[in-house]
Each structure stands twice: as structure tokens, then as C-alpha cells.
Amino acid sequence: MSGKPEFPFDPEHEKIIGDVLSHLQISSTLDSGVSVSLLPNPSHLDAINPAAMGKARSKMDHGGKALCIQCHGDGSLIGQGHNHEILNMQNIPGYDVGGSLHFCCDNQVAFTASGNLSRSCARPGDCALPYGSPVISVSASHPDQVIAAAKLALRFRNKFGKDVMTELVGWRKHGHNELDDPKMTNPILYKHVSAATPTPDAWCSKMESSKAQEIMDKVKQERASWQQAYDDVKADKYVPGQLCRNFGPWADVKRANSWEQQNWSTGYDVESMRYILAKSVEVPEGFNLHPFFDRHRKV
């Protein structure tokens, strides 16, 4: 470590923070014309989930179509109170988005605690059961089954307009964040994890040899590209890409720097305010006002 700042000190980089990619936002339009937006999320807090629900509702209120997809960690899903709140709000008229698709990555380690030490139910997704939402559990090691589970969840959501919880039960090979050693906190589980075959390798072994080789070649290319990306990331030659920028109607929005902030007069003309207040309690001719409100209006 050379002690250099991660990013240059200038307005272009002022709004950029060092963080994992899943904590940043990005928007993209697919070839099919579907617009996909990933909202910025501090992952272990699941804090963005209510905002995602609100964004979907806003699009619907403005005449658009939207599908709210919420991703959770096994610990944060059941441990964060607002997740229970938004499950409860799923069919309330003012908040209904026609059902959300919830995907819980149950890596069985949460932060560092196993499930029996962090919840009172069998599965983290069981918190959805009291609200009439089904919980689908599927092995994350079988991509074909994950796809089938996702399609089933979407069909249920479209038919009944309710949330659906899909749990991807798997593991995280290097523990919570690659810094703490899971062999210390979950020794039995990680004895099996260390011996497990990587999912792409295990999946390809069940396929036809020609198809498997094609997929394995793509996997190797992907791994090589990731390694190259890691090798290329240097603080002194970092160039911000589109991932760090705003999109659509927010493209021109930027965080104000200290030298750009100004003091504004927030007062209002007194006579105009009196006029507005008088009009706000004026009763139209012929309107029969409830005595309770009429009494307070005259005070």
C-alpha cells in the first residue's frame, strides 16, 4: 500500500466512493426494449428495498409498467425490520406494485452467524409466509433449477399479484467478505465447502461433452477477463466509467461541492401568504361542511 488517495481530488471524482459494484447504481435498456435499473444498495442492510418498491409504484402511477425485483442476503432479509414492513405493505392500496419478486441468496453464513444462531425459523424466507407469499427453495448449485424456480415465481406473481420469495441455497466459498476466515466461525460447513466442486464445473460434467466444453471455454474466458480487470485497477490511472454516472432524467444532477453552495432567501410575501391562507379555508357556496370542521374554520 503506497498511501495514495483512491481517487483524485477534483469535481469529476467528488461523488465517487470506493465500494463494491453491487452498491452502485446503473440503468440499461435491453435489446427487447425493456429498461432495467439497479438502485444503489448497502447490501448487508437491504436499505434500498423500500425505495425500489416506491420507484416501481411511481412508474405505475405515471402510466408505465414495472416489475419490482428485490435481492436479499439471508441475514439481512429476516434481520432488518423494514423487510417485514414492505412484505406487509404488498397489497395495501397505496403501496401495491402487483407483487415483488424476492430473491434471497442464502449462503448459510450471513455475516458470520449460522441460521440457528440468528433466526427462530427454518429458512430466512419464512418471514414472507404470514403474508400469504409462497417460499420457493432451490439449490444455487443447479442453474437450470434456479431458472425454473424464477419462472414459477414470475407466473405466480402475474396471476395472483402477490410477492414471491425464492431462496437460492448455496454457500460463499471465502466467507462473508473474503477477509474473515469462515473456517474459524463455521468449521464444519466450510470443510464441505472447501471440498465442493465449483458450480460451473459440476454443471458441465452432467452435460454432453461438446456442449460442456463450449461452456467451460466461456467460463475460462470469463475468469480470465475478471483477473485482467483486477490487474488493471490502479488508483493512479482510474478513469470513471458510466457505472459511476447518473442516467436518464438525472443525467445533469450532481452533488454540490462546498464552493457551489449558496444561501437562499426562503421567505415569502406576507400579503400573498394571507391570501393563500384565507382561500385554503374558504367554503364554496352550497357546500355542506361538517360542523366539526366548520367550528375550527371559524376560530
Q: Is 233 helix (H, G, I), strand (E, B) or coil?
A: coil
Q: Please count the other Cβ atoms lying within 10 Å of the Cβ belonging to residue 133.
A: 22
Output the pLDDT for position 242.
52
In contact, 150 and 166? CB cutoff 8 Å: yes
Q: From CA 231, how far away is CA 110, in angstroms rounded? A: 29
Share of the chain above pLDDT 90, in %: 36
1 band by pLDDT with thresholds 50, 70 and 90: very low
**What is the pLDDT averaged over residues 149-154?**
98
CA distances 137 to 127, 141, 252, Å, are 13, 12, 43
Please report the domains of the chain, with CATH numbers, ordered by start residue. Answer: 21-196 (3.40.50.970)
**What is the pLDDT averaged over residues 223-232?**
81
Considering the entire predicted model, what is its pTM? 0.73
Highest-pLDDT range among 17-26, 56-65, 173-182, 229-238: 56-65
CA distances 112 to 55, 143, 167, Å, are 32, 26, 19
Q: From CA 113, how far away is CA 120, in angstroms rounded? A: 13
Q: pLDDT at residue 6 above 60? A: no
Give the bridge partners for 72, in sequence order: 104
Q: Taking all residues of the chain, what is their mean pLDDT, rounded to a whole number?
A: 83
Output the pLDDT for position 11.
52
In contact, 225 and 4? CB cutoff 8 Å: no
Q: Is 49 helix (H, G, I), strand (E, B) or coil?
A: helix
Where is pLDDT greater, at 256 or 35? 35
Output the pLDDT for position 118.
82
Strands 26-29 and 35-38: antiparallel
